């Protein structure tokens, strides 16, 4: 018995150190699953306050309006009953038009992946974590900070595939600047479809580019056009040019996506004090007006097209003008954004972001604050949940691993506590007896392997043991883990006929010069 207890204690100590990442040992991680919010989301505003923001948003859309830079979009809006000024490109909306079109957007839907087992439920209490997307730079502790490139782009995709708590390829985890712009979207999409089997995002920039990538999503799933339009298979984000403007390329992309019944998320980038009023109420009213204008646009294109309400309101450093993330203000707007999305009965997108320049305490606590606001606000899609640094300018390998650990912790926290005869453990109390211990009880021995969350990063050794091991820092453990994950990564299977069809599709577009002439 003493030998068994000693062995159990050694195994627990290994788990307490976050698992063994040595050669030959798999990284301990959670199995694939979609977390669910197991309690009501937090609410910071009451119904009267939400109504005030809603009414203010409608007033903005009616009296000021939004600038729509796409002639196609303006024509559709005019036919739907909006007031369009062709000289200024400003579009004003009657509140009744907005209120009516809000009703046609679905409250829940499924985003389909190449691997059907990784389809995602969007809306309700379901949570989707997306990898970092769109930074122009990448960093790791070995090579430092550098421009985005193909090798790092592909490696970050492999890591996003490897870690189960990352559900969505949220876009390009770093921009591969060494690929030609005219065909970059084609090769990037092929990488997303072949190096991963998870749901993917496409960039909503220009209708033809979007059309190319939607077709690749169809090919990747091996389905017909009819099935594609029944089953949304790609996700895209439209950012407004705050304040109160939609650019032409993104609008044309939105029209293409919504007309094909693919998922559009409209996310105003409203930084209080810079691109929106300095007060949170004013910034949220502007965010809401811009998001509602985008919702209306999608539903005019195709009633019932899947739409996600995006919230990205934060503040700036009023001394330098730099964006700030993971702030108390960001947490508040994340939570209130969720309240507004639920008011309109549509899914909600938020983000796990920070403004730190290196993987340090600031990176950790700002990310925790962002993640907590996103979770407590009822976020359905958490963009940039793993790997985001420098306010979105850098994708970090070590930060991605740190974030995976945080996301797994939140997922574990969201699991309901089970209270029944088995979990009460009355027999173990009897077995341990007065003044005894529970290490060797039957109840403990049957459960210790999975009783508690085993972190990837935390080091729970005492100071002397930690010092003897070389005083390792968290980023060093993260560095070891991502290297181990890349070594263990296995490319998901895909039918050879699909990859050949993808190659033919790319070759046909390259023969016409790609999309360079569209800009």
Name the pLDDT band for 24 (thresholds 50, 70, 90): low
Helical segments of 222-360, H only:
225-230, 248-259, 280-301, 328-343
Q: Is 493 inside a domain boundary? A: no
pLDDT digit string (tens) for 156-199?
999 999 999 999 999 999 999 999 999 999 999 999 999 999 99
How much of the chain, in percent, has pLDDT values that exceed 70?
Answer: 94
The pTM score is 0.93
Segment 247-264, tens digit of pLDDT = 999 999 999 999 999 999
CA-to-CA separations, 50 to 42, 135, 323, 327, 349, in angstroms, rounded: 14, 34, 26, 22, 18
How does pLDDT run across 451-467, given as a tens digit for each residue?
A: 999 999 999 999 999 99
Q: Indicate the pLDDT class of residue 15, thresholds 50, 70 and 90.
A: very low
pLDDT in tens, 313-327: 999 988 888 889 999
Domain span including residue 119? 102-414
Number of domains in the chain: 1
- Can you give the three-state secondary structure of 207-219, one letter per residue? HHHHHHHHHHHHH
Q: Is position 202 within any domain?
A: yes
Structure tokens at 258: 């919504």
Question: Following DSSP, what letter does each residue of 80-148 receive, concatenated?
Answer: HT-EEETTTTEEE--HHHHHHHHTTS-S-EEE--SSGGG-EEESTTB-EEEE----SEEEETTTEEEE-
Nearest CA among 311, 241, 308 for reference residue 280: 311
Q: What is the pLDDT of residues 80-113, one digit of tens each?
A: 999 999 999 999 999 999 999 999 999 999 999 9
5-9: long-range contacts, CB 8 A cutoff, minimum separation 24: 5/439, 5/440, 8/439, 8/440, 8/444, 8/445, 8/448, 9/439
The CATH code of the domain that includes 346 is 3.20.20.480
**For the segment 235-246, what is each residue's pLDDT rounded down to a tens digit?**
999 999 999 999
In a domain, 85, yes or no: no
Task: Please determine, for residue 328, whether its predicted confidence score (pLDDT) is greater than 70.
Answer: yes
Query: Does 22 map to a domain?
Result: no
Mean pLDDT of 420-432: 95
423 belongs to a structural domain: no
- Strand-pair partners of 84: 91
Give CA angle at 253 (248, 255), nearest 5°.
Answer: 95
Average pLDDT, the chain: 93
Q: Does the residue 246 lie in any domain?
A: yes
Domain membership of residue 62 (yes or no) is no
CB 514 within 8 A of CB 180: yes
In a domain, 305, yes or no: yes
């Amino acid at each position: 018995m003493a030998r068994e207890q000693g062995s159990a204690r050694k195994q627990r100590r290994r788990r307490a150190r976050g698992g063994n990442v040595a050669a030959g040992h798999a990284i301990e991680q959670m199995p694939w699953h979609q977390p669910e919010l197991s309690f009501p989301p937090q609410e910071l505003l009451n119904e009267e306050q939400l109504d005030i923001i809603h009414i203010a948003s409608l007033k903005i859309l009616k009296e000021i309006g939004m600038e729509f830079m796409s002639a196609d979009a303006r024509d559709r809006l005019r036919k739907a009953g909006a007031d369009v000024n062709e000289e200024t490109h400003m579009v004003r909306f009657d509140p009744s038009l907005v209120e009516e079109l809000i009703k046609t957007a679905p409250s829940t839907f499924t985003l389909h992946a190449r691997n059907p087992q990784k389809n995602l439920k969007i809306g309700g209490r379901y949570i989707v974590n997306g990898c970092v997307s769109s930074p122009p730079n990448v960093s790791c502790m070995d090579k430092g900070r550098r421009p985005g490139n193909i090798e790092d782009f592909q490696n970050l995709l492999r890591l996003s595939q490897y870690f189960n708590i990352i559900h969505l390829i949220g876009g390009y985890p770093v921009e591969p600047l060494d690929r030609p712009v005219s065909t970059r979207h084609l090769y990037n999409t092929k990488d997303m479809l072949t190096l991963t089997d998870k749901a993917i995002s496409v960039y909503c920039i220009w209708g033809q580019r979007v059309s190319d990538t939607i077709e690749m999503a169809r090919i990747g799933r091996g389905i017909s056009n009819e099935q594609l339009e029944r089953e949304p298979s790609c996700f895209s984000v439209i950012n407004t040019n705050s304040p109160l403007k939609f650019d032409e390329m993104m609008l044309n992309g939105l029209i293409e996506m919504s007309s094909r019944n693919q998922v559009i998320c409209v996310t105003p980038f409203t930084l209080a004090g810079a691109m929106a009023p300095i007060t949170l109420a004013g910034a949220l009213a502007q965010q809401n007006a811009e998001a509602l204008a985008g919702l209306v646009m999608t539903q005019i294109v195709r009633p019932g097209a899947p739409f996600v309400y995006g919230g990205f309101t934060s503040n700036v450093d009023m001394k330098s003008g730099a964006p700030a993330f993971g702030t108390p203000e960001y947490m508040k707007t994340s939570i209130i954004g969720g309240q507004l999305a639920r008011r309109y009965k549509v899914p909600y997108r938020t983000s796990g972001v920070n403004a730190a320049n290196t993987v340090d305490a600031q990176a950790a606590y700002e990310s925790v604050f962002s993640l907590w606001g996103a979770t407590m606000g009822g976020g359905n899609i958490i963009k940039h949940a793993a790997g985001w640094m420098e306010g979105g300018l850098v994708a970090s390998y070590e930060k991605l691993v740190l974030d995976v650990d945080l996301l797994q912790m939140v997922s574990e926290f969201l699991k309901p506590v089970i209270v029944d005869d088995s979990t009460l453990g009355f027999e173990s109390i009897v077995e341990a007896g007065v003044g005894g211990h529970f290490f060797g009880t039957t109840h403990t021995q049957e459960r210790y392997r999975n009783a508690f969350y085993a972190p990837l990063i935390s080091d729970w050794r005492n100071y002397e043991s930690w010092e003897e091991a070389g005083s390792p820092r968290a980023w060093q453990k993260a560095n070891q883990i991502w290297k181990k994950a890349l070594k263990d990564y296995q490319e998901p299977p895909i039918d050879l006929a699909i990859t050949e069809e993808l190659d033919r599709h790319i070759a046909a577009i390259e023969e016409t010069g790609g999309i360079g002439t569209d800009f």
